[in-house]
Amino acid sequence: MIEIFKDGGVVMYPLLACSIITLTVIIERTFFWIKVSMNYHQDVIDKILELSQTADWEAIRKIASGSKNYIVRTLVSGILHRDYSMVKAMESAASEEIRKMRNYMGVLDTMITVAPMLGILGTVTGIITSFNVLGEGIENPQAVTGGIAEALITTAAGLMIAIPTVFPYNYFTLKIEQAALSIEKYATGLEIVYEKLESHSKKEREAME
């Protein structure tokens, strides 16, 4: 492997950096989503929506205290600001949660694009080297094959970085989309429940008047 790396020329060094960065981000995002999955408690979400129907905000505060569930944090944000703007508060909280989920996704996207381009750059430099040697004559065939080897190795290395990265990138993107839909689903549910409570409360006040 070391010999192959050396045969790939100087372009192999930025490709090596790309592979290290890509692997680091994939590992970090994998652990992030494992943590999200471990902290996802459906029973807590259901309980919050159930308690919200009776406007038991204090009970909600107790069961949601310290929760690391992104949906719970979004709902609680809306509940805390219900007297001002529940919808905007939840939108703001949801944006922050999605931002955390999208951390480093731009890095993976960049690596998918840059790695093959670096491979092509290595291909070009390798072919240029080969033509330069041919221009001087073919007294040293190994120099010509060395340039061709450099061209092929860098292309293969670039593709070997980009292709496997596509799969985790698409998987993480899918997880983000699913999380966004879940937030929207439960936030809308809470909003509907709160609007019903407000409507009922308004009717009671009007009846008393």
pLDDT at 95: 95
pLDDT at 170: 97
pLDDT at 123: 86
- On the CB side of 50, CA atoms within 13 Å amount to 8
- Listed by start position, the domains of the chain span 18-203
Model pTM greater than 0.75?
yes
Assign 161 to helix, strand or coil.
Answer: helix
Q: How many residues does the chain have?
A: 209
Question: What's the rounded Cα separation, in Å, for the pair 22 and 28?
Answer: 10
pLDDT at 61: 87
The DSSP code for 138 is: S
pLDDT at 138: 58
Contacting residues for 194 by C-beta, under 8 A, at least 6 apart: 52, 78, 82, 86
Contacting residues for 140 by C-beta, under 8 A, at least 6 apart: 133
First to last CA, the chain: 85
pLDDT at 143: 55
pLDDT at 56: 86
- Name the stretches of the chain with pLDDT < 70: 132-147, 201-209
Which H helix or E strand runs over 55?
none
